[in-house]
A and B are shown apart, each in its own frame.
Chain A
Amino acid sequence: MRIFHYWFALWGIVFRELLRFVKQKERFLSALVRPLIWLFVFAAGFRAALGIAIIPPYETYILYEVYITPGLIGMIQLFNGMQSSLSMVYDREMGSMRILLVSPLPRWYLLLCKLSAGVFVSILQVYVFLGIAWFYEIQAPLEGYLYLLPALMLSGLMLGALGLLLSSFIKQLENFAGVMNFVIFPMFFMSTALYPLWKLKESSTWLYKIAEYNPFSQAVEFLRFALYAQLNEQAFVYTAAAFMLFLILAIIGYNPSKGMMKRKGR
């Protein structure tokens, strides 16, 4: 195998995902509308909800919209990661997965390509969302938008890998509703996306603990600091470790002789 083949496979998979994304205008719109509704409707009602406490990376008092924005970026990537996993189930049902997996390239590489394609699409969505938020006076320092890019790549890969891992368990498309109920919603609500940890601690200690160790929280905090041109080392290490773990499990999961494919592949 030459490097050219690797590049060709990556391009093919990313291009297919992009094509799918561009063709499905509703998907783009709904991916954008979801966080915007949270921002304009939900957050508007809680403008002063945070009370008085300044938490890093913020250096002064902020409106709830400002707080929730990194959480909504995380939400875009979470949904995107799960949607990619949905498309994997679809691909499997339609047979295109078979075409992909018979390629002579290593399976882990093909899965990574698939992940990267999803992340690429999610980054486009995030920047469009931030562009709209800018006009709503939610503005981070300019360099923060640059720092955000590598952070988005890592958090996107982590959430995508989680989606991939889940998709190896899902047999049929219909089961995606279960993913919504048992993965997306708990992960999103039991995290720092909507409320800071100290606020969660006020209501319940166990919720605080879950939120603290929730990989989605760590991804959101990583993004939050990056948006303000800062590095949250703990969140970075946690997110990177979670990515590796999910990826390894997903690769095992997609191995026909070992993983879940064997279990349900008939």
Chain B
Amino acid sequence: MNAKLLLSSVLLIVATTSVAETIFVSLEKDNAIAVVDPIAGKLIKTVNIGQRPRGIKISPDGQSLYIATSDDDTVLELDANTLAVKSKLPSGEDPETFAINSLGTRMYVSNEDDNQITVIDLQSKKAIATIAVGVEPEGIAVSPDNQWIVSASETTNMVHWIDANTHEIKANTLVDPRPRALSFSADGRELWVTSEIDGTLMVIDVATKEITQRINFAVPGLGQDKIQPVGVVVDDIHQWAYVALGPANRVAVVNAQTYQVEKYLLVGARVWNLAFSPDQLRLYTTNGVSHDISIIDLAEHKVTKSIAVGRYPWGVAVKP
């Protein structure tokens, strides 16, 4: 009897710790998403979704999961709990990345081939505008106050500042070659942008739209050509920023106060995109070529586990 009681309490503890958060990973080559329990460190299941899924995000209320299925020319809206398809959004051609405003009312999709941004109203599920931008727009983000949409054009080497109300480009910032991803600081004062070709990370002052910091990376024993920064995230307290360095197989830990690189963490091959856990105690990375994700303990800045998820993991979204 006692043994049974002990077993059930152990199971209860395991069960309660295992439901802390769920992570969803888009698998570009498997045409699927992987569902992972990061606390138990296990792949729960893989769900077929559509052709070439890439950009993936959770709605601000945590109820919907959005996935850009690039070769189907749509962004799917799934129920984040059941994974049932709720709607197919008119994203325009070849959607790769997208951003959602903090109210959960607007989605902004980069259409790389058409050099434009498609604006979708998430209530009516309709495209309400297209905005012409530079050549090959990719990284896209909305400022925390929902005033700015920023779009990075890979070939034009520019960050476009688009007024979220008028959908007009108000300013452009020339950045280092092939800007990939961008991320606002939580206070909305800084925009962090990565340049894949120059291997740099730039910090842009939102007020002046000028680059105030330029951070370089050097991993001991690794050629500079391997350092191709892509995903970048900044924590809410503006203490640390993390940058995925692509084929360098490292995540750079940048002190957001001093703008110095403090550490390089070894993860899987061609680390691409990053996402925080809701409490920002962990960071999840997608490692495209090694077909897994890595979990980083942010209190210790240590990689604790890598979990195989499927072929070419691209993006990662975390459901609280």
Contact = CB atoms under 8 A, between A and B. Distances in A.
Interface residues of A, number: 10
Interface in A42-65: 44, 47-48, 52, 54, 59-63
Contact of A60 (B221, B222, B289, B305): B305
B304 A60 contact: yes
Which 4 A-B pairs have CB atoms at the shortest separation, nearest pair first? Answer: A60-B306, A59-B305, A60-B303, A47-B221
B306 A48 contact: no
Interface of B: 41, 220-222, 249, 266-269, 289-290, 294-295, 303-306
A63 B221 CA distance: 12
Do most interface residues of chain B lie in helix, strand or loop, or is the interface mixed? loop
Contacts of A48: 221-222, 249
Nearest to A46: B221
A61 B304 contact: no
Interface string A23-52: 000000000000000000000100110001
Given A59-B306, A61-B266, 15 more contacts: A48-B221, A48-B222, A48-B249, A52-B269, A52-B289, A54-B306, A59-B304, A60-B266, A60-B267, A60-B304, A61-B249, A61-B268, A61-B294, A61-B306, A63-B266
Contacts of B269: 52
A60 B294 CA distance: 7
Nearest to A52: B290
Nearest to B269: A52
Nearest to A62: B266
A240 B176 CA distance: 60
A30 B138 CA distance: 57
Contacts of A44: 221
A52 B292 CA distance: 11
B220 A47 contact: yes
A134 to B, nearest CB: 13
